[in-house]
Amino acid sequence: MSDFTSPPLVAVEHVFKSVSDSTGTLDILRDIDFRLAARETAAIVGASGSGKSTLLSIIAGLDTPTRGTVRLNGQDLFALDEDARAALRARQVGFVFQSFQLMGNLTALENVMLPLELAGQRDARKQATEMLGRVGLGQRLGHYPKVLSGGEQQRVALARAFVVQPALLLADEPTGSLDFATGEAVMRLMFDLNRERGTTLVLVTHDRAIAAQCERCITIEAGRVARDETLAAA
């Protein structure tokens, strides 16, 4: 359970996002403001086009807000230059995407080793091997993504995300490319890993059943926070 007395791990502070073209200005996000404690699990839900994936990109520091900011462990992401933001992301943030985003020319083991090697860790092979064992792929270390099922590829992606022991895990529709049963198994694994490692989880989903497994559910409608509910789950 989250410790709400400690400083927030993530602070989204009055974030606005607009884009302009020859036809005018479109407001994608309007005054988004919330905090997430360490170890908290939160779902961001909303209809397609509501702005939820844009919000996740801003929390990651991959997109920039028009106004407002995001703080990770007290650090203002947008006070940093792009290189410093990327370095912070590499140390503290893990990602899981709907489309897996594995490197097709690397084996499962090499995909999981990659972030460790980029961080300069010497025992990358050992850590990656153990992590793939934890997600049930200890016998698939040398396999390339193209010969793995969708569920196996997402397990590799989970191993890659968690192996760096991130403070924050961002997941964008992680079951969107999977059938129902496979998606359920992947979500169980993700929540188990999240609990084991004490990560703060932000999950974008259109699936209310998945959202209900989180402690918080933040509903975005037309670029605004329509509801911010504390749930009984987790």
For 165-188, write each residue's pLDDT tens digit: 999 999 999 988 899 999 999 999
Whether 16 is covered by a domain: the verdict is: no
Please state, in angstroms and rounded to a whole number, the distance separating the CA atoms of residues 226 and 221.
Answer: 6
Whether 2 is covered by a domain: the verdict is: no
> Is 154 in contact with 96 (CB distance < 8 Å)?
yes
- Confidence grade of residue 212 (pLDDT, cut at 50, 70, 90): very high
Whether 172 is covered by a domain: the verdict is: yes
Whether 197 is covered by a domain: the verdict is: yes
Whether 99 is covered by a domain: the verdict is: yes
Please state, in angstroms and rounded to a whole number, the distance separating the CA atoms of residues 143 and 139.
Answer: 9
- Whether the pLDDT of residue 35 is over 90: the answer is yes
- Whether the pLDDT of residue 49 is over 60: the answer is yes
What pLDDT was estimated at residue 120? 85
- Whether the pLDDT of residue 4 is over 60: the answer is no
Whether the predicted model's global pTM rises above the 0.75 cut = yes
pLDDT tens string 111-122: 999 999 988 888
pLDDT tens string 193-206: 999 999 999 999 98
> Is 87 in contact with 93 (CB distance < 8 Å)?
no
**Burial of 4 (C-beta count, 10 Å sphere; 0-12/13-18/19+):** exposed
CATH of the domain at 173: 3.40.50.300
Whether 12 is covered by a domain: the verdict is: no
The neighbour count for residue 137, using CB atoms within 10 Å, is 21
What pLDDT was estimated at residue 232? 64
Whether 196 is covered by a domain: the verdict is: yes
Domain total for the chain?
Answer: 1
187: containing domain: 39-61+91-230
Percent of the chain with pLDDT over 70: 96
- Whether the pLDDT of residue 234 is over 70: the answer is no
Whether 207 is covered by a domain: the verdict is: yes
